[in-house]
Amino acid sequence: MIEVIDCTLLYPSKKGIANVSFSISQGEIFGYLGPNGAVKTTTIRAMMGFMKPQEGKILIRGYDAWEQSSQVQKYVGYLPGDIAFFDEMSGMDFLKFQAELRGLNDLSLMYQLIKRF
């Protein structure tokens, strides 16, 4: 399901990930742990296609995370712990904004999930 192959993504400060490789099979539970500053979020952002690795490849369900990020994002969600909304934007406004960016017109599932959670 997920393959990270010799992935390197370094910031100008030379901090980042270097030659990271791992794979996660369908149904497998995987923990990606480390202290603050260990660049876990950098790896996840690369997996989502938000950042392009300088070297290596990331495949999610066979899709290249950078080249086919729109396909990857149909199957994978990411909720950062440090999310920031635009000024004056409520959580509901943010969800509607994200749906609009993705071209979603039917928000019934969103409302069902909001009610459930």
Residue length of the chain: 117
Q: What is the dihedral angle through the alpha carbons of 29, 51, 14, 19, rounded to the nearest 10 degrees?
A: 40
pLDDT in tens, 36-54: 888 888 898 899 888 899 9
| pLDDT at 79 > cutoff 80 | no
At residue 85, does pLDDT exceed 80? no
β-strand pairing of 55-60 with 63-64? antiparallel
Delimit the domains of the chain by residue range.
Answer: 2-82, 84-117
> Could you confirm whether domain 2-82 is CATH 2.40.37.10?
no
* Reduced 3-state DSSP string for 2-39: EEEEEEEEECCCCCEEEEEEEEECCCCCCCCCCCCCCC
